[in-house]
A and B are shown apart, each in its own frame.
Chain A
Amino acid sequence: MTQTRSNSSKPAIISEEQQTNTHTNTYTESSETLAEKEPELMVKKRVPDWLNNSMLSSPAPVVSPPSKSRSQSPPPPSSSHHDLLGSYTSKSSSVYSYNSSTVIQPPVPIPPPTFIRPEPPTKPARTPRTDFRDPLTRISDSDNDISSSVEDASRQTNLIQALSRKIINMRELRRLASEGIPDGAGIRSTVWKLLLAYLPCDKALWSSELAKKRSQYNQFKEDFLMNPLLKVSVASQSEITRKLEDSASLQNGENTSAGKGLLPRSEIPHGEHPLSLGKTSVWNQFFQDTEIIDQIDRDVKRTHPDIDFFCGDSASSKANQDSLRNILIVYAKLNPGIRYVQGMNEILAPLFYVFKNDPDEDYSRNAEADTFFCFVELLSGIRDNFVQQLDNSVVGIRSTILKLSLLLKEHDEELWRHLDITTKVNPQFYAFRWITLLLTQEFIFTDSLHIWDTLLSDPEGPQETLLRVCCAMLILVRRRLLAGDFTANLKLLQSYPSTTNISHLLYVANKLRSHHHS
């Protein structure tokens, strides 16, 4: 399900145009795609004014309201390093200019520069190109904006400052987080843990909380991941040993000649045989669990096959996969109502990635336990999307999709009308995956991390923000959608151009909020 863009490594805009052009064959859009890359050039007819105005902001130091001041720079010409990642080559550097900042370090827990200072664009981490497939080791352009790196640096300082307080101000943290968290120094890892209410606000309590939760997780693992047959045999062991002891004493009398005779039969407790179909039978549980475990296993192996962290041959990727598997199994066992549904692995992956790549040794080692609890927390908000029976209910995915539709109608009626009525693109065809998987499948991995920064910073749960981001996604490609028919639109929306400038997308989404009147 990951988007694989097999591009050649030509970094220039032209290649991007060509590639995005394959999406919609009918419409000549060279100017259009350019426009999408450079928001300031977007001239959209009949687009709400505020949307239009914001486009006309100046390129480099973007003066937009405090947040989305990420890379609004014109895409730089060069980019030898764009061929870094096979499938991710097509990204324009403008998207990643924010990445230019301060810490580009391989997220493997190597002791990093702990504090980020506003660096000049010559990045120290230019060299480690070892892990090609690791998205965060992408090297950004140097010729990119000193301005944006300064901004990133300032954001980073702000965050570090916010985190260094004794009692963390959650509101401020959320505000800062929604602007985007820089990629280094384990900030994201800590911030996400705070946002997901895993770590308490009071820093003094952190160590005790962490110890408690981690031991709890280990207890869960022991309970659930132990071979269930051992439980059966352990339970029956007592009976057997008793009988053996009894019969041994008897046998010793009989056993004189040859130890012959009929073997003693024993009754078994109700239904405890391997073919039992009873719901309470340990065996039946075991077989049912095996099915789920098989499915979890299959999905884990398919998670992000292009990222080395998850899907490589090294021992560490195997260990990572094992951790993912364990978390999902424990979750399935703890939640018999929902068990495991395909897609949960996609929600889990970014969490684990971020936590595991925390430069702090202790955090990295315990990433599995931490991820488990954060996963539970995150899923608790969106679990209704995974329950099939709730699909048609008020809390189910259908109604959420309907909300998205209404949101689009409110902000851009023309587009809504065109999509829903004229071309009859049922939002379920594209929005289902967007919503249930929190946009992890629509953009490349690092981009989705940035989107998640914003999603998780919403105090009321990610859904509201998610809908706004989805709406923004639709609005950003409105020109193409308006020009396309059913097939073209569906194709576009089901493989949403991952070259989208994420900060711009989030900016638009944010704008939708201020114009939202309900």
Chain B
Amino acid sequence: MVLVLAIGDLHIPHRAPDLPAKFKSMLVPGKIQHIICTGNLCIKEVHDYLKSLCPSLHITRGEYDEDARYPETKTLTIGQFKLGLCHGHQVVPWGDLDSLAMLQRQLDVDILVSGHTHQFKAYKHEAGVVINPGSATGAYSSITYDVNPSFVLMDIDGLRVVVYVYELIDGEVKVDKIDFKKTSTATI
């Protein structure tokens, strides 16, 4: 039972001052084992905050990140799953499923986490699953102003992943769940 937080596109301090209070109250250290962050934090203070939640922190570079040392893409293995991480501004058209699927095949991962569109999405295609955690602060994106703050928490347990989607809608935290399994022979 490994809890992995997928979060990104915070754009602090340029487009948003901070995480919503309700999100912050839920994110306490000690519960989460890994954090994967799509990028665009943008400053070191946010990095430190995330590091305080969990020492295992993986970040990829977004186009506005001030730390240029983050990699463009990252892959990691958690439990039985291979996860890939990429900010997403590199994949054109932004948010396009087929292009992301190409990236996923390229990285050879089961779950690809990418962002940039600031919209939560969870796609499934024959090569695997693509998850977009959206923007945790609700910052405006290059495409739209209408953004609900959201992030994703994945509970990886053996061959099964339960994805909890946290969204802040009208000031209230709404949590939904998505469940999928990986068959041992083929991906989902």
Contact = CB atoms under 8 A, between A and B. Distances in A.
Interface in B65-111: 97
B178 interface: yes
A227 B175 CA distance: 24
A212 to B, nearest CB: 35
Contact of B176 (A260, A267, A271, A276): A267
A266 B30 CA distance: 27
Nearest to B120: A265
B1 interface: yes
Interface string A286-300: 010000000000000
B25, B166, B176 — most chain A CB neighbours (10 Å): B176
A336 interface: no
A277 interface: yes
A216 interface: no
B121 A274 contact: no
Interface in A258-275: 258-268, 271, 273-275
B64 interface: no
Contact of B178 (A236, A265, A277): A265
A233 interface: yes
A402 interface: no
A229 interface: yes
B123 A267 contact: no
Contacts of A243: 179
Contacts of B124: 259-263
A267 B157 contact: no
A348 to B, nearest CB: 27
Interface in A469-510: none
Interface string B12-47: 000000000000011110110000000000000000
Interface string B117-144: 0000111111001000000000000000
A276 B178 CA distance: 17
A258 B122 CA distance: 16
A240 interface: yes
B125 A259 contact: yes
Interface string A276-288: 1100000000010
A271 B175 CA distance: 8
Interface residues on chain A, size class: 20 to 34
A260 B177 contact: no
A265 B176 contact: yes
Interface centre among A267, A275, A276, A287 (most CB of B within 10 A): A275
B112 interface: no
Contact of B177 (A229, A265, A276): A265
B157 A263 contact: no
A264 B27 CA distance: 25
Interface in B138-188: 153, 155, 157, 162-166, 175-180, 188
Contacts of B162: 236
Nearest to A244: B179
Contacts of B157: 229, 233
B123 A274 contact: no
A248 to B, nearest CB: 11
A275 B178 contact: no
A291 B91 CA distance: 43
A357 B122 CA distance: 59
A259 B126 contact: yes
A260 B188 CA distance: 10
Contacts of B54: none
A283 to B, nearest CB: 8
B177 A275 contact: no
Nearest to B188: A259
Contacts of B177: 236, 265-268, 273
B3 interface: yes
Contacts of B175: 268, 271, 273
B123 A261 contact: yes
Contact of B31 (A233, A240, A259, A275): A275
Nearest to A265: B176
Contact of A287 (B31, B97, B164): B31
Contact of B123 (A236, A260, A268, A275): A260
A244 B155 CA distance: 18
Contacts of B27: 275
8 tightest CB-CB pairs across the interface, nearest first?
A275-B26, A265-B176, A263-B122, A273-B175, A268-B177, A260-B125, A273-B164, A229-B1
Interface of A: 227, 229, 233, 236, 240, 243-244, 258-268, 271, 273-277, 287
Interface of B: 1, 3, 25-28, 30-31, 97, 121-126, 129, 153, 155, 157, 162-166, 175-180, 188
9 contacts: A229-B1, A233-B157, A258-B125, A259-B124, A265-B176, A273-B166, A274-B164, A276-B26, A287-B31
Given A236-B179, A259-B124, A268-B175, 12 more contacts: A229-B1, A258-B125, A259-B125, A260-B126, A262-B122, A263-B180, A264-B178, A268-B177, A273-B166, A275-B28, A275-B153, A277-B26
